Structure 1
Amino acid sequence: MTKLLLQTVESTVSDEDILGFLSRYGFPPFVSIERMAGTGIRPAVLLGFQDLQPEALQLLQARIHQVFWNDHTIDAIIVQRRTE
């Protein structure tokens, strides 16, 4: 599963709003969402995508990183799997 962290997404933003935002930029639907409160400065959501290759996620991530949405600039960060 590939994962994408979106920072500065307030807890008041619905899952449907996030899905709509991402679909406008060509993302497939996410299969999991985890809300992360952080310190209040950078609330975030961690999204999981089932059938999205890491290379495809990189291309899509570039489309939304630093985009202004819902009164905030979104930081989109790909979360890499740890290999030990």
Structure 2
Amino acid sequence: MAELWVGNIEDDTSDEEIKSFLCRYGFPPFDSIQRVEGTGERPAVVLGFNDVGAHVLQNLQPRVHNMFWKNRTLTVQVVPERDES
């Protein structure tokens, strides 16, 4: 499973808004979402893509990284694959 970190999301942004935004820029729909609050100043989400390789997300990531959306500049990174063993 490939994962995408989207940081500095406006706190009240819905899952559907995130999905719609990313799909508008060519991303496939994500299969899971995990909200990461941190200190509350720069909330983030980790999006899981079951049938998409990390290389696909790496090609799409520059389309939205550092984009200004909903009064915030987004930080978008592909999460390195983790060895679960």
TM-score (norm. length: structure 2): 0.92
Task: For 1:33 and 1:10, locate their aligned partners in 2 and report how far apart those are by CA, in whole Å.
Answer: 15
| CA contact 2:6–2:77 (8 Å) conserved in 1 | yes
**Residues 15-53 of structure 1: CA distance to partner in whole angstroms, max 9, x if unpaired?**
110011001100110000000111122110010011111
1:42 is matched with 42
| Residue in structure 2 matched with residue 29 of structure 1 by the alignment | 29
User: What SS does the aligned partner of 2:33 have?
Assistant: strand
Unpaired stretches in structure 1, ≥5 consecutive residues: none
Residue correspondences, number: 84
Structure 2, gaps ≥5 residues long: none
Distance 2:14 2:82 in 1: 29
Give the letter for the 1:50 counterpart: N
Distance 1:18 1:74 in 2: 12
Q: Distance in 2 between matches of 1:49 and 1:77?
A: 14
Give TM-score scaled by structure 1 length. Answer: 0.93
CA distance in 1, matches of 2:10, 2:80: 23
| % same residue | 49
Q: Which residue of 1 aligns with 2:59?
A: 59
Deviation at 1:78, TM superposition (A): 1.0
Checking the alignment, whether the CA contact within 8 Å between 1:11 and 1:35 is kept in structure 2 is no
